[in-house]
Amino acid sequence: MPDVQQELEYLAQADQHIAESEQRLASQIRVIEGMIQNGHTTALAEECLCHLQQDLEQWRVRRALILAQWWSQR
């Protein structure tokens, strides 16, 4: 069983990944908006956006699993 400090580190890492993923997602949305304004096709950029959304969701699930494990051991 991981110690409390290690569990908190895992949670902090997940939080950091979530924050970074949210920033990348917001940035990609701005890129797409700019592409639309300039008349460019956005198919590839939108595909990238979908992957970024999936990554964010995976980090959120990971965080939830960390918390579930934390509470199940208490």
Residue 3 has a pLDDT of: 81
Q: What are phi and psi of 2, to 5 degrees?
A: -65, 150
pLDDT band at 74 (very low <50, low <70, confident <90, very high): confident
pTM of the model: 0.88
Ordered alpha helix ranges (H), the chain: 4-37, 43-72
Does pLDDT of 41 surpass 90?
yes
Contacts of 54 (CB under 8 A, 6+ apart): none
For 26, which DSSP code?
A: H
Measure the N-to-C terminal CA separation of the chain; round to a whole number of Å. Answer: 12
* Per-residue tokens: 72: 């199940």
pLDDT band at 7 (very low <50, low <70, confident <90, very high): confident
